[in-house]
Amino acid sequence: MPPNSKSLIRTAFEYSLLIVPLYLLAGAPLLRSFFGSPGETDDEVADLISKLNTSTLMIPDEDLICPKSTYVVHILSRDPLVAYIEDFIRNDEASHLVEISEPNFTPSTVWAGSEESHDMTIRLSEKALLPRDHTVKCIEARARAFQGWRPDVFIEELYSQRYGPSGYYRHHFDGGVSSSRFGRISSFMVYLDASCTGGGTNFPKLKRPENKSWCKFIECGDEISKGIDGEELEGITFKAIKGNALYWENFRPDGSMYEESWHAGLPVKTGTKIGLNIWSWYQKGYEELLKSQKSP
Ligand SMILES: *[C@@H]1O[C@H](CO)[C@@H](O)[C@H](O)[C@H]1NC(C)=O
Ligand SMILES: *[C@@H]1O[C@H](CO)[C@@H](O)[C@H](O)[C@H]1NC(C)=O
């Protein structure tokens, strides 16, 4: 044993104690009843997969025809990959998504392991499942295309989130359980409505880019927001700008979490913010399985 592996193990253990209570899943977990660390043996992995609710994974339409997109991408970080996307969603698409969300808004929940709750000290917002119409399918297709149509990657059913004055979501990870074979590998946060002050998205562990051109999209100087409890924030806070989106990866290929993906929705001070979450789930072998089910 190398001399400091004991202290390394101890640190990892303490870290896991710290993380578990904060181990909140954004949205519904695809794995219905899981608590703890991902299984390592084939049996444990098979057991986890048997609990996967595949009806939340969207199967793309083969003959879908969508308008050409004209967004502009700025890479913020290469490891993990974090990209800022200008005009990811057009104004008419944003209005439509808000309109179809309206009847479905209900108070948002948080997940810790398999426990779902309305914990307003963690998250104060409303969420709406988007009915899967043509626009929604085209947004899913755009998110898949952005990721290079990666095999075995599926878009989860889309939810919007509405934050009124003082609405927020404390720092959390979007991904829960993962391994090299499955997991919520990436997230998009799209701003559908940003008729608000405040409501930025903070990533304390991301390094601030040097060039001032970024100040169009991230808070700089006097603009820098305080945290939910009035604390100084580290890292980067992205401004809520309608139509624009952030994209980041939650896991390394081996299934370990990127700590840099830790983020919060800061309190809205005035007005309303509506965000669209697009989560991508990697499920090794699932595409092959679907193909075999289709062929007689
Ligand atoms: C699986 O997901 C679908 C679609 O969201 C949902 O209607 C259903 O209740 C889920 N089933 C379970 C067992 O969680
Ligand atoms: C930031 O980028 C712009 C655009 O390329 C460039 O003109 C400017 O010199 C850069 N500023 C710094 C401080 O590097």
pLDDT tens digits, 216-271: 999 999 999 999 999 999 999 999 999 999 999 999 999 899 999 999 999 999 99
Q: 127-131, 165-169, 262-266: which range is least confident on average?
A: 165-169
Instruction: Report the pLDDT value the prediction gives residue 14, as an integer from 0 to 100.
Output: 41
Indicate whether 95 pLDDT > 80: yes
Indicate whether 37 pLDDT > 60: no
Please, what is the average pLDDT of the chain?
86
Instruction: Report the pLDDT value the prediction gives residue 45, as an integer from 0 to 100.
Output: 61
Percent of the chain at pLDDT > 90 equals: 65
Ligand 2 centre to CA of 224 (Å) is: 21
Mutate to test the pocket of ligand 1, among 50, 52, 56, 111 (most ligand atoms within 8 A of CB): 56
Task: Decide: 211 in ligand 2 pocket, CB within 6 A.
Answer: yes
Query: What does the domain layout of the chain look like in residue ranges?
Result: 5-294
What confidence tier does 74 reach under pLDDT thresholds 50, 70, 90?
A: very high
Ligand 1 centre to CA of 233 (Å) is: 37
Pick the CATH number of 5-294 from 2.60.120.620, 3.30.460.20, 3.40.50.2000, 3.30.200.20: 2.60.120.620
Q: Which residues make beta-bridge pairs with 195?
A: 272
**Residue 225: CA count within 13 A, CB half-sphere:** 24
Task: Decide: 277 in ligand 1 pocket, CB within 6 A.
Answer: no
Task: Decide: 53 in ligand 1 pocket, CB within 6 A.
Answer: yes
Measure the N-to-C terminal CA separation of the chain; round to a whole number of Å: 54
Task: Decide: 5 in ligand 1 pocket, CB within 6 A.
Answer: no
Residue carrying structure tokens 């967004």: 71
Indicate whether 114 pLDDT > 80: no
